[in-house]
Amino acid sequence: MDQPPLAIGEIVRNGIIFDLKNWGGQSMNDDDLKIMVERLFALLNERQVHYVLVGGVALLQYVEGRNTQDIDLIMALSSLERLPEIELTERDENFARGTFEGLQVDILLTQNPLFAFVRQEHVSPVVYAESTITTATVEGLILLKLYALPSLYRQGDFARVGIYENDVATLLHAYRPNVEALLVELAPFVSDSDSQEIRDIVKDLQTRFSRFEK
């Protein structure tokens, strides 16, 4: 039997509820989150924004995964500038973070060539409870996670390293995409040293889950 479409508002609600840091504080109720999410995507469609859903919500479309409390989108800076309703709290060359009616929204800006590439080449329409939303494919999510890993290693952000490596391993194991083709696609967007490090990471992840298949 087909599973019902994922509800983004419910995903975000669960992420907030199961985060210990939020316990004891005031939280949004189900209806508030549902309405916020619906309004966000209605606004994006109304402004005719070319966007792609990525991050934890997109991941849950393909595998059982971790909780997430925000909405992650790939979007052009010109589109973001047409959305003053998203109140920015941070922005650099590649990323922006803001809030929409209290809902956290993280933006991957298409000024980054890889983000633009994923938006163009690795997307698919997916039906959610709120709407049909252009979402990154399995391959697109793997590219984004692998691209981020060398930088996370350099920053010493090993909590996120563990999360991202687990996301990649889970997608690789569940869907068996053409890994070599993905690495070839990724190579023009990273340095030679990062490309080799990413290959080493993938090889290690494949070795890990191959142990459980023997």
- What is the rounded CA–CA span in Å between residue 21 and residue 83? 30
Q: Are 51 and 44 in contact (CB under 8 A)?
A: yes
Residue-wise pLDDT for 28-55, tens only, equals: 566 777 888 999 999 999 999 999 999 9
- What is the rounded CA–CA span in Å between residue 126 and residue 197? 32
Location of structure tokens 């989108």: 73
Q: What per-residue confidence (pLDDT) applies to 23?
A: 44
Q: Which two three-digit tokens encode residue 35?
A: 């309405």
- What is the rounded CA–CA span in Å between residue 119 and residue 53? 9
Choose among 125, 106, 49, 109: nearest CA to 77.
109
Confidence of residue 3 (pLDDT cuts 50, 70, 90): confident
pTM over 0.85, yes/no: yes
Q: What per-residue confidence (pLDDT) applies to 16?
A: 75
Name residues whose C-beta falls within 8 Å of residue 20's C-beta, 6 or more positions apart in sequence: none
Element (H, E) at 91: strand 87-91
Residue-wise pLDDT for 68-106, tens only, equals: 889 999 999 999 999 999 999 999 999 999 999 989 999
φ, ψ of residue 177 in degrees (nearest 5): -70, 170
Q: CATH number of 8-136: 3.30.460, 3.90.1530, 3.30.310, 3.40.50? A: 3.30.460
For 49, 67, 114, 163, the CA distances from 110, given in Å and listed in that order, are 13, 26, 8, 24
Residue-wise pLDDT for 158-206, tens only, equals: 999 999 999 999 999 999 999 999 999 999 999 999 999 999 999 999 8
